Amino acid sequence: METTNIVDFSRRDGITDALTDLLRTGAQQLIASAVEAELAGYLAQFSDLRTEAGHAAVVRNGHHPARPLQTGIGPVSVRIPKVRSMDGTPVTFRSALVPPYVRRTKTLEAALPWLYLKGISSGEMGPALKVLLGPDAAGLSANTVSRLKRDWAKEYDGWREAELDDEPLVYIWADGVHSGLRGEDDKLCALVIVGVTARGKKLFLAIEDGVRESTQSWREVLLSLKSRGMNAPKLAIGDGAMGFWAAMDEIYPTTRQQRCWQHKTMNVLNCLPKLSQPKAKAAIHDIWQAETKDDAIKAFDLFIKTYEAKYPKATLCLQKDREELMAFFDFPAQHWQSIRTSNPIESAFATIRHRTKRSKGCLITRWHAAHDVQAGPMR
């Protein structure tokens, strides 16, 4: 039985929208006017050329057959003018606005990876766009989407080799994101590093295959970033159970370390019985949500005294990373909410995990992950 994520509305083909039709007609006229302006500029460069009889050497010669251009408001019919030379010299008019063989706008093409990540498979892309844009939407077969995926992979290769010396980085977040799919020996994992500049510009720096707990895997990622020009950031944020920290000590020894409070809270609570967890969780929140570092130190000491005698494993789990857990208090207070957890990565990859669940047996490419995140100012 064929399964699909697309809900086909009954009588979808019969639904008309006067406003959309008006917009589509206006877009068609606007494109035609813009192409005519391009043609006029093209012919102007031949205005001084004349035949022996005194006629213009380069003239219009009708139009190419009309072709549909897929846009965000549905298909728009486009006709590109042709020219010919009266003296036999080869001339060709090519529109910069509507280049040859272009069948869809860039904004529509940019929506395809977003739809893919939302759970629409390659074979369902065409039906999905027909629902969104109307029954005339075409030209997006599974083969077309597969070709676009190969183009995205090339973009990813170019992105991972780009230089990183434009602006110095202040903070970086690191995490190993598991896809839920198994490799031959270890769980498949994307090693992810996100950075932010002093101006608050957030950047994806690396998305590479590797093993989360492996120092060697993280060493390779960091050496690649260093070769691309990445400076030593002021602070690195991440979970404690990663080979990332040993690699950081080797490659960027001056960078301070901040353990993720969300991960640490879960690890500590796992050492406690369920009945004690709500109260302990509130006590932990009193530490990292304190107004000042002094208040946080007092709350930290109180937690240790409260639970050390009865639950030594829980207090040891917290105590062993005390310095790394409190590091964020030494940075500007307006940054505390962002730099005390690895949430910038966790939130970005929520969609990736959703996509993995939708496409059983399909490993998400690293480029898709990068494109699913819109870089923005740090909050």
Here the CATH number for the domain that contains residue 194 is 3.30.420
Residues 85 and 104 reside in one and the same domain? yes
Residues 272 and 227 reside in one and the same domain? no
pTM for the model stands at 0.64
Mean pLDDT of 145-165: 82
Task: Quickly tell me which residue has 């004349």 as its tokens.
Answer: 50
Least confidently predicted of 3-12, 42-51, 222-231, 302-311:
3-12
Q: Which pLDDT score is estimated for 267? A: 95
- For residue 326, what pLDDT band results from cuts at 50, 70 and 90? very high
Mean pLDDT of 344-365: 59
Give the number of residues written for the chain: 379
Return d(Cα 370, Cα 379) in angstroms, integer: 19
Return d(Cα 117, Cα 43) in angstroms, integer: 45
Decide: helix, strand or coil at residue 342: coil
Of the candidates 94, 122, 153, which is a domain's last residue?
153
Of the candidates 104, 124, 153, which is a domain's last residue?
153
CA atoms within 13 A on the CB side of 13: 4
**Predicted confidence (pLDDT) at residue 308 exceeds the cutoff of 50:** yes
Per-chain mean pLDDT for the chain: 79
Residues 206 and 179 reside in one and the same domain? yes
Of the candidates 104, 129, 153, which is a domain's last residue?
153
Q: Which pLDDT score is estimated for 4? A: 56
**Predicted confidence (pLDDT) at residue 23 exceeds the cutoff of 90:** no
139 inside domain: yes
- For residue 372, what pLDDT band results from cuts at 50, 70 and 90? very low
- For residue 367, what pLDDT band results from cuts at 50, 70 and 90? very low
Residues 237 and 274 reside in one and the same domain? no
CA atoms within 13 A on the CB side of 145: 22
Domain boundaries, position 306: 261-340
Return d(Cα 121, Cα 106) in angstroms, integer: 20
Residues 80 and 149 reside in one and the same domain? yes
**Predicted confidence (pLDDT) at residue 16 exceeds the cutoff of 60:** no
Residues 49 and 84 reside in one and the same domain? yes
The string of pLDDT tens digits covering residues 334-344 is: 999 999 999 88
Compute the Cα dihedral for 217, 220, 224, 225 and give only its sign. Answer: positive
Compute the Cα dihedral for 242, 246, 251, 257 and give only its sign. Answer: positive
Return d(Cα 274, Cα 268) in angstroms, integer: 12
Residue 86's identity, in one-letter code, is: M
Return d(Cα 148, Cα 112) in angstroms, integer: 9
Residues 91 and 183 reside in one and the same domain? no
The string of pLDDT tens digits covering residues 66-100 is: 877 766 556 777 888 888 888 878 888 887 766 66
Residues 67 and 141 reside in one and the same domain? yes
Residues 16 and 103 reside in one and the same domain? yes
Closest C-alpha among 296, 314, 294 to residue 304: 314
**Element holding 15 (H helix, E strand):** none
Residues 190 and 245 reside in one and the same domain? yes
Q: How many domains does the chain have?
A: 3
Mean pLDDT of 52-61: 85
Q: Which pLDDT score is estimated for 251? A: 96
> Greater confidence, 330 or 154?
330
Q: Which pLDDT score is estimated for 350? A: 67
